[in-house]
Structure 1
Amino acid sequence: MGKFFAFLFFLAFILVLFFIPACKKNQQEKPYLGYDYFPTEPGKWVIYSIDSIAYSDITGTDTIRYELKELIDSHFTDNAGRPSQRILRFTRKSANVNWKLSDVWFSTSTESKAEKVEENIKFVKLIFPVRKGKIWDGNAFNNLGAEDYQYNQTHTSLTINNLTFDSTLTVQQVESFNLIETKNYKERYATGVGLINKEVIDIETEVNGTIKRGFKFNQNILSYGE
């Protein structure tokens, strides 16, 4: 009888050794969703440099440069009962000038997507899980017409203004080229930070390449914190 109980104890010990690694393996294989590319914690802020160039075949070229600060101010519940964030946006002409509140935007992050309301227009900025090549309609909740957004780079390192980010993604929002028109809209996000870069090129040109009208916009991160 003693040998029988010893055998059962040995068998139970072997089963424990077998199941512990299996459980650890299942825990390790839990899929990464990418929620940290779109932070929602109040107190987080990012400062950007803004460079905007407007082209007109009538009035010429106009260049504007300033700094923008986005601060996640507080949580609230939206009309659909979802936790959302209030984002305060401040601008200043240079680092030597005080910040001035310019407008308020809103964001909502769910299990499947990240939304942002910009100037009262809602965009689907990201979808989860983050996967290279995934496509979705960024204008699904506005009346601007369907626009395919796509992850064309994911989980790559990137350096902007001497700030290095270990894991970033790129969302290609608009991409259209021909002999007289160029449209290229993209945004880049970093884990734990959110948006770190926005590039927009929307111009019409002569056949020889001379810009007739349109605009270019570049938004680059300068610093961040909480």
Structure 2
Amino acid sequence: MRKALLFCVLFTLAGLAGCERKYVELDPEALGLDYLPVKVGDFKIYKVVDIKYRNNVGAKDSFEMREVVDTSFFDQTNTLSYKIIRSIKRYNQTEWVEDSVMTLTKSDKFALLTKDNTMYVKLVFPVQEGKLWLGDAYNDRVINNLETDPYLRKEPYKYTSVGEPFELNGTVYPITVTVIQGTPKDNFLQLDNRKEVYAKGIGKVYRLFNRVVYCNDSSCPQGTGYKLNGHERHETLISYGSR
């Protein structure tokens, strides 16, 4: 009798633990879904600094970029998706000029962004330190045809600094996550530094794209640090809200 009672107690506790784990796994906060909140009417405005390098000369362009969640719909898999309109305003202009349209599909497993007919896996859930996934899993882009390992053949993304504060031009976002895109390089011949920072309750607050090819070998007459070509871009959040 005592053994039977003990078995019942253990079985009940195991069931409760299983339910608790399942609840935690599906809890939006535990999953990290709030790192990318989205609803119709949301908008974000970024200050953009874009520099193109050629023969060590940088051509700089600065402007504001606005992203507005315009409408929502269900895609062919019955997953809720959002149409996002991106517009540009230069500092000598008063009106926004539509630049492009993107689609964001968000579930409790991932966030997919389709831009220029190419789909990227921007985030995966739950958000966990060190988690690795393929940003190019749903497109045809290949970074190395000679590799068979998918994480060397396609573009890997990785979470870092989960839950840590991030300071941006004097503004401190208390809870953020950084997504490292690609395989960072900072060596004698090449720089590749790309990342996005997401703040809890807000979404993307910063994006860095910095790729440079240097002329640093023995045949280069210009000396070390000469930028043959490159592209450096900073997108910094300056305003956000909902209409």
* TM-score interval (norm. to shorter): 0.7 to 0.9
| Amino acid aligned to 1:37 | Y
**C-alpha deviation, 1:95, in angstroms:** 7.9
| 1:210 paired to 2:226 | yes
Distance in structure 1 (CA, Å) of the matches to 2:107 and 2:24: 18
**C-alpha deviation, 1:87, in angstroms:** 0.3
Q: Which moved further from structure 2: 129-138 or 165-174?
A: 165-174
1:45 to 40, 43, 46: 43
**C-alpha deviation, 1:38, in angstroms:** 1.3
**C-alpha deviation, 1:79, in angstroms:** 2.6
**C-alpha deviation, 1:217, in angstroms:** 0.7
| Amino acid aligned to 2:231 | F
Distance change in 2, residues 1:129/1:48 (3 Å): same
| Structure 2: gaps of 5 or more residues | 1-12, 143-153, 217-223
Distance in structure 2 (CA, Å) of the matches to 1:202 and 1:120: 23
| 1:189 paired to 2:198 | yes
Q: What per-residue deviation string (whole Å, max 9, x for no partner) do you get for residues 98-145 of structure 1?
A: 111111101011121111011211000010000000000000011112
| Amino acid aligned to 1:108 | T
Q: Which moved further from structure 2: 153-162 or 187-196?
A: 153-162
Q: TM (normalized to structure 1)? A: 0.83
Distance in structure 2 (CA, Å) of the matches to 1:160 and 1:132: 21
| Structure 1: gaps of 5 or more residues | 1-18
**C-alpha deviation, 1:96, in angstroms:** 5.6
| 1:172 paired to 2:170 | no
**Aligned residues of 1:161 and 1:221 also touching (Cα < 8 A):** no
State the percentage of identical aligned residues: 28
Secondary structure at 2:40 match in 1: coil
Distance in structure 1 (CA, Å) of the matches to 2:165 and 2:233: 23
Cα RMSD (Å): 2.1
**Aligned residues of 2:55 and 2:226 also touching (Cα < 8 A):** no
Q: What per-residue deviation string (whole Å, max 9, x for no partner) do you get for residues 24-83 of structure 1?
A: xx59x835100011122111111000011101129x421111000111111012232211
How many residues were matched structurally?
202
Partner of 1:221: 237
| Amino acid aligned to 1:76 | F
Pairing of 1:52-201 with structure 2 (within 5 A)? 52-57=50-55, 60-94=57-91, 97-145=94-142, 146-174=154-182, 175-201=184-210
Distance in structure 1 (CA, Å) of the matches to 2:92 and 2:68: 17
**C-alpha deviation, 1:161, in angstroms:** 3.3
Secondary structure at 1:143 match in 2: coil
Secondary structure at 1:98 match in 2: coil
Larger radius of gyration: 1
| 1:34 paired to 2:36 | no
Distance in structure 1 (CA, Å) of the matches to 2:41 and 2:169: 23
| Amino acid aligned to 1:99 | W
**Aligned residues of 2:47 and 2:65 also touching (Cα < 8 A):** yes
